[in-house]
Amino acid sequence: MWGGSRVSVILPAFNEEANVGEAVADFERCDYVDEIVVVDNNSTDGTAARVAATSARLVRETRQGLGWALRRGLEEATGDYLILAEPDGTFLARDALKLLAYADDFNVVLGTRTTRELLWSEANMGWFLRLGNILVAKMLEVLHGGPSLSDCGCTLRLIDRASYAMIKPHLSVGGSHFLVDMTLSALAQRLSVIEIPVNYRGRVGVSKITGTLRGTLTTGGRMIALIVGHRLRPRRGRPR
């Protein structure tokens, strides 16, 4: 628990047999984590068997896509604080503590993988990906009045349960650009948002999103279209 509040960690998994067990174990070692939910998104390998050998709760999402998996996890998790992460070895469980440290002051705490000093040498964040993340994040920041942003697609983030209930009706994306949709929805509801630097390590296996140039460009294009599309809509939410 954290300050008397339950903490849930959500891990979306599509063929993550190689590292999902270690990812769960990493969070199991954090005494402030009360629940770990792994969402099996149509895996065809031994992902489910690996999770079954841990304390994590396995749920299934048949609609294919990172967004669908994360949305299922957000629905299934029971904590007061909901932390999204990845089971592929890129994130360190201890960085969840950084998110929680800001949870009293902000509704949504986003991680950023673009801080040079926290990029591990084997991380999949070369100059092209890093620059692209920064540029798209700055577009989101400028067009939607966000806080200082430098990463448009970092999965590692926290949202409190009440805030999730506010943005839930506005979430519309099931694909890899869901993370931008989540941030846009939070800003539209006038939630308080901050971004903090987190460690970013090398992935175990090949990324399903940025593992190829085509995948990177496709996801980036969808993010930009979403950001521009939201800017053209009438803005709704709580008055300041």
Model pLDDT for residues 86-127, shown as the tens digit of each residue: 999 999 999 999 999 999 999 999 999 999 999 998 887 888
Q: How many domains does the chain have?
A: 1
User: Which position has the token pair 């521009």?
Assistant: 228
Model pLDDT for residues 145-195, shown as the tens digit of each residue: 999 999 999 999 999 999 999 999 999 999 999 999 999 999 999 999 999
Residue 239 has pLDDT above 60, yes or no: no
**In this prediction, what percent of the chain has a pLDDT beyond 90?**
84
Is residue 14 included in any domain, yes or no?
yes
Is residue 237 included in any domain, yes or no?
no
Is residue 198 included in any domain, yes or no?
yes
Is residue 2 included in any domain, yes or no?
no
pLDDT of residue 215: 73
Residue 174 belongs to what domain range? 7-232
Is residue 239 included in any domain, yes or no?
no
Q: Which residues pair with 196 in a beta bridge?
A: 111
What predicted TM-score, i.e. pTM, was given to this entire model?
A: 0.92
Instruction: Identify the CATH number of the domain in which residue 132 sits.
Output: 3.90.550.10
Q: What letter would DSSP give residue 205?
A: S
Which letter, b or e, does each residue of 38-72 get, where b requires 16 or more Cβ atoms within 10 Å of its Cβ?
Answer: bbbbbbeeebeebbeebebbbbebeeebbbbbbbb
Is residue 217 included in any domain, yes or no?
yes
**Residue among 109, 87, 66 at smallest CA distance from 219:** 66
Give the number of other Cβ atoms within 10 Å of residue 164's Cβ. 21
Is residue 13 included in any domain, yes or no?
yes
